Every structure is written in C-alpha cells, then in structure tokens.
Chains A and B, each alone.
Chain A
C-alpha cells in the first residue's frame, strides 16, 4: 500500500514529506496506537475485502465500548461478488473457467458465488492458497471444463463452508452497509463497497481528511484497467518494462510481486528483467 501510486504520489512520498504514516498488522494495532497517543487523531485505512472487514468491525466494537474518541476509519473496503458481476456485465472475456478466492469464500460461503453458474455460465472453483490447494483447484477446474459443467465447486472444503461464517458476516453488517464503490478498470460498481453505518458516522474519517475533489485519474498511458479486466496482457501496455518497472512503478499492477505486471516483468523470457 505504501508504494501504490495514486494521482502521481504514494503514501511513502507523503511520509517522507512529514506525514505520520505507520504500517500495522491489523486494526487492533491501530487501536493500540490511538490509546497510547490520545492527543492525536488516528485514522485506520480500511483497504481490503470480505476477509479483513470482520477484524475492522471487531475493532469498532471495542472502540465504541471503551470510548476511545480519537480513532477513525477511512473505509475503502470492497466486496468480490459485485465486482465479478460487473466484470462479466462488460461483455465476453473469452474465459473457460474461474478460480475463486478461498479466503473470501470462508466468510461469504460457496453459495454467494452461485450466480456465476447462470451468468457468465462457466465452471468456477473455490481454491485455497497453498501450493497443493492450487494444484487441486486447477485439477478440479479442468475436470469441470472437460465435463462442460457450469456450477460453483468448493475445492477448499477444509476452510470454506456452504454458507460461510455467519458470525463474521453479522459483525460486518452491524457496522457497515453496502455502498457504491470505484474499482480501477471497472469504474463505479453499485453496492460493491462497505461504508460505515449512519450510527457510526462519528468514526468516519472522510469528513476529517476532506477527501473531496475528483478521484485521481490513471497516469497517461497506464493500461492497468485493461490488464485487470483481462482485455490485454501486461506486455501489451506501452509503458511496460521501459517506463514502468517494479523499481519505479507507474500503475498499481507493477507494485507488489502479486501484481500481474510485476509478475510478467519478473518471469518474462529474454533476460531484460535484470537490466
């Protein structure tokens, strides 16, 4: 997150110019900072998906109970099924099957993905993250494709239940409600974000940090949006490798080793990666 550019700047830049930006492992650590520095406003940047939202909801419950009045949340949390819906609403992508995120599914359950069987109507498999889980998921998906079955299979049953984790979901629903959210590549997607409920508005950092004005546009020439929606390969972006590298990324796909562009950069053939 520190190195992700937006509007030409990063949080690391802001920190070097004097902003107090700290990396923590979770909301509980941010809450500890708020408690130990009561004279300062502490804003937790809530970036994540269904997996991280319950921990933030728990921190909010604790904050409300203990009346820590200098802890705020800037919620940019997003939900996966709505984004998948928007992705396929944009037209044919030429996909044969889908690997679905196992950890998100532990919260929302297998059934939350059932809509994929109707549209786009291609095989989908919920997969874990360890190497064997991934191989098992791929093997299952190939079987589904060969059998021309269009259903959502749970290949990660040791963690994912049919209906997910009801406790976590109700905790999230207590503090957040679905709201329109912007996604890079997809634009505004209805009901795909999580905002604080009105009764917890006093914890919302947005009014404090005056995050008004237009959202930053993608840098000129940056095709992250097309990469993220599967319309082009990273190597087809005109900035790739010459103007945009992992050492000096222009768009977010080049930042972390998990980004599509960074992975293509590192593993492309021809040896240019080390120049």
Chain B
C-alpha cells in the first residue's frame, strides 16, 4: 500500500486552469490523450500521426527517424546510468521498427553544480553503449541551466537508422494464430531505479536490463524475415501497455499465459514486497514481438544465442476477437490487461 505525505509550505492557489500533471507522463492513457488532443492537432502530419516508434522519412534509403528524452532519477542506478539509457532508448526505438541504428544526436541540459565526475561517468558509459550498438554520435549540444532548473542533467537523443531490405512490420500484420514472444524477464529496469530512489530505497540484487536491441533484431530479421509481424520495446508503460495497444490497433485479441511469463526471482520478490505489478514495470533492454507460430522456435534459438540480458519465452498468442488483451492466470481465471493508468513512479527513464 502506498501512503501519502504532504510537505507543508507555499502552495499555489488552485484554480481551474488545466496544468500538466505527472500522470501525463505515464506512457499510458493520459500520455496518449495528451498526444492526441494537444500535440498532434498542432504539430502533427502523416509521419507523426502514424504513432510508430520511429518514423519513415523520405531519403535515398528506407530511413527511420526517432527521438527520446531522458530524465531518470537517480542519474546512476544499478546496471546503468542516464548515459547508456539515452543511447539504448533511441537505438531500441529504431531497432523495433527493423532499422539498423546509424546516426545519433545528443542534447544535454546540465544543472549548475553537477559534479564533473558524474558527467564523465555518464559520457564514458554513453560512448561504450553507442559503440556496442553500432551507432555514431554525429551531433551534440550542451546547455547549462541554473541550480534548481534541472535535476542534475537531462539528455535528449535523436536517431536515424536504415531499414533492412524487405522488412515490413506493423499492427496490420498481426493475425490470429500468431504467438507472442518476449526476449526476457520483465520489470528489471523499473525495480533497479526504484531501489535507489529517495523514499523507496530497499536492498535488491536486481540490476537494470538497459541494453541495445541491435544487433539482436538484425539477426532475427536475417533469420526469420517476414516471420516477424510486429515488435515493440516495453518501456514506461510496461508489457501490459504494449499488449493492450497491440490488441487495440490490430483488432485481434491478445491472450497472455501468466505461467509462461519469464520473471526473475529477485524481481518477483521485490514486486510482491512493494505491491507492484511486473506487467506495468519498465524494461529498457527487452522487446515483445508477434511472430508467425511456425517460426517461433527459430526466434527463441536466435535470442538465446545472442549476448544480452535475455531469457526468451513464448508468453501468449493472438486470436480472433475485438481487440482486447487478456491474461489467463495460474488459477484458471482471466484478467483484462489495460494500458497503464496513472503513475506512482515517474521519471523512470
């Protein structure tokens, strides 16, 4: 159970003016509404409206373009820091659309007083992560703001990638009979960040799964080609939000088997202790994919033989229905899986 604490002090007069709330960053329904009602009507176009993790853009090759901002607190956490997260977040958004990550820009907003030692550690990690994923940092910018105007540092990255020939993944390719594969245990990043946050600190051996999904996705595309129907990385909204959006957008039902979900013992323990649902915890190095059932064994083999924080499993299937996501529970019940609603754990990435 979560409790509430007020810190008494200056409180702005509440009026009816609509303001941005933390819930608008939950990566679920409130974020979706903000994008659809406030952003898209003003800055939208064909590419942005498509709502893909990375947009198709015109160019000499089949290009994908994406951007992501990183505000994680604390800056350093077990298994990573904001630097490798900023690389992996953008690399993974490109990878799940079938694009080989090529070029990346990075914008840094540094708060006055940030220790150089922290900045250097973050940049070292960032450089290593970029090299490992095969992406080049080709443009960067730095701004410094006064104390209190940013929490240590924020990073924005944007990335461009080239789609492997013949790749076509999308919601419209998901069909009844397909199986759902997840690359590994869900929830590691969420638990790792939480364990080092003020007010939540607890002992856990769980480290973030922050990792690049490339070259893994490249190997999968080479190995099974069009057998891969759709792919996404379950970040802020967790596996539940991805599955719910998948079902909604494709019009088929997604049925998850609770007992098939790979959940690391330490993550399982931490979520039970904290009363959190691992289906809604962020991952930063995992992908959930819809796969032609006949190619699923090959997909599992490729993931197992690629280096990374992976422990793949077939966790469910697509079936004819009305575009809803369910989970068959270990007790034989059926639970409806919804998009994330609200967020007690902001600034996870």
Interface residues of A (CB under 8 A from B): 1-3, 9, 11-27, 29-30, 32-33, 37, 40-48, 52, 74, 131-132, 135, 208-209, 246-247, 266-267, 271, 273-274
State how many angstroms separate the Cβ of A128 from the closest Cβ of chain B: 14
Decide: A44 near B19, CB < 8 A? Known: A9-B14, A25-B200, A131-B329.
Answer: no
| Distance, CA A246 to CA B15, complexed state (A) | 23
Measured CB to CB, the nearest residue on chain A to B2 is A23
Q: When the two chains form their complex, are residues A246 and B199 in contact, meaning their CB atoms are under 8 A apart? A: no
Specify which of B5, B274, B322, B324 is in contact with A45 (CB 8 Å cutoff): B5
Measured CB to CB, the nearest residue on chain A to B17 is A17
| Distance, CA A22 to CA B73, complexed state (A) | 15
Chain B residues with CB under 8 Å of A19's CB are 6, 11-12
Q: Mark B17-34, 1 if CB is under 8 A from A, else 0.
A: 001111100000110010
Asked whether any CB of chain A lies closer than 8 Å to the CB of B51, the reply is no
Q: Identify the stretch in B137-145, B215-223, B336-344 within 8 Å (CB) of chain A at 4 or more residues.
A: B336-344
State how many angstroms separate the Cβ of B250 from the closest Cβ of chain A: 13
Q: When the two chains form their complex, are residues B3 and A44 in contact, meaning their CB atoms are under 8 A apart? A: yes
Decide: A131 near B9, CB < 8 A? Known: A1-B4, A22-B199.
Answer: no
Cβ contacts A to B, 9 pairs, < 8 Å = A1-B3, A2-B4, A19-B11, A20-B11, A24-B2, A25-B199, A29-B200, A44-B4, A274-B324
Chain A residues with CB under 8 Å of B4's CB are 1-2, 11, 21-24, 44-45, 47
**B7, B9, B14 — most chain A CB neighbours (10 Å):** B7
Chain A residues with CB under 8 Å of B30's CB are 247
Chain B residues with CB under 8 Å of A21's CB are 4-7
* B 187-235 contacts with A by CB, 8 A: 199-200
Chain A residues with CB under 8 Å of B14's CB are 9, 13-14, 17
A41-B7, A44-B4, A44-B5 given; 12 more Cβ-contact pairs under 8 Å: A16-B19, A17-B14, A18-B11, A20-B11, A21-B5, A22-B5, A29-B5, A45-B6, A52-B1, A52-B3, A131-B331, A247-B33
Chain B residues with CB under 8 Å of A14's CB are 11, 14
The 4 closest A-B pairs by CB, nearest first: A18-B12, A41-B8, A20-B7, A131-B331
Chain A residues with CB under 8 Å of B79's CB are none
Interface of A is mostly: mixed
Q: When the two chains form their complex, are residues B3 and A26 in contact, meaning their CB atoms are under 8 A apart? A: yes
Chain A residues with CB under 8 Å of B323's CB are 274
Q: When the two chains form their complex, are residues B8 and A32 in contact, meaning their CB atoms are under 8 A apart? A: no
Asked whether any CB of chain A lies closer than 8 Å to the CB of B330, the reply is yes
Asked whether any CB of chain A lies closer than 8 Å to the CB of B347, the reply is no
State how many angstroms separate the Cβ of A267 from the closest Cβ of chain B: 6
Q: When the two chains form their complex, are residues B322 and A15 in contact, meaning their CB atoms are under 8 A apart? A: no
Q: When the two chains form their complex, are residues B11 and A42 in contact, meaning their CB atoms are under 8 A apart? A: no
**B22, B200, B341 — most chain A CB neighbours (10 Å):** B341
State how many angstroms separate the Cβ of B321 from the closest Cβ of chain A: 9
Chain B residues with CB under 8 Å of A48's CB are 1, 3
Measured CB to CB, the nearest residue on chain A to B344 is A23
Chain B residues with CB under 8 Å of A17's CB are 11-15, 19
Q: When the two chains form their complex, are residues A42 and B5 in contact, meaning their CB atoms are under 8 A apart? A: yes
State how many angstroms separate the Cβ of B271 from the closest Cβ of chain A: 13
| Distance, CA A96 to CA B9, complexed state (A) | 51
Measured CB to CB, the nearest residue on chain B to A8 is B16
| Distance, CA A25 to CA B10, complexed state (A) | 24
State how many angstroms separate the Cβ of A261 from the closest Cβ of chain B: 14
Q: When the two chains form their complex, are residues A24 and B3 in contact, meaning their CB atoms are under 8 A apart? A: yes
Measured CB to CB, the nearest residue on chain A to B33 is A247
State how many angstroms separate the Cβ of B249 from the closest Cβ of chain A: 11
Chain B residues with CB under 8 Å of A20's CB are 6-9, 11
Specify which of B6, B15, B274, B341 is in contact with A42 (CB 8 Å cutoff): B6
State how many angstroms separate the Cβ of A194 from the closest Cβ of chain B: 15
Decide: A27 near B6, CB < 8 A? Known: A14-B11, A15-B21.
Answer: no
Q: When the two chains form their complex, are residues B22 and A15 in contact, meaning their CB atoms are under 8 A apart? A: yes
Asked whether any CB of chain A lies closer than 8 Å to the CB of B248, the reply is yes
Decide: A247 near B29, CB < 8 A? Known: A15-B21, A266-B336, A266-B338.
Answer: yes
Decide: A45 near B3, CB < 8 A? Known: A18-B10, A131-B331, A271-B322.
Answer: yes
Q: When the two chains form their complex, are residues A40 and B8 in contact, meaning their CB atoms are under 8 A apart? A: yes
Chain B residues with CB under 8 Å of A273's CB are 324, 336
Specify which of A25, A266, A271, A274 is in contact with B274 (CB 8 Å cutoff): A25
Specify which of B3, B8, B274, B322 is in contact with A208 (CB 8 Å cutoff): B8
State how many angstroms separate the Cβ of B274 from the closest Cβ of chain A: 7
State how many angstroms separate the Cβ of A107 from the closest Cβ of chain B: 14
| Distance, CA A95 to CA B324, complexed state (A) | 34
Chain B residues with CB under 8 Å of A74's CB are 6
State how many angstroms separate the Cβ of B337 from the closest Cβ of chain A: 10
Specify which of B200, B329, B342 is in contact with A3 (CB 8 Å cutoff): B342
Chain A residues with CB under 8 Å of B200's CB are 24-25, 29
| Distance, CA A23 to CA B23, complexed state (A) | 13
Q: When the two chains form their complex, are residues A267 and B3 in contact, meaning their CB atoms are under 8 A apart? A: no
Chain A residues with CB under 8 Å of B20's CB are 16
State how many angstroms separate the Cβ of B227 from the closest Cβ of chain A: 29
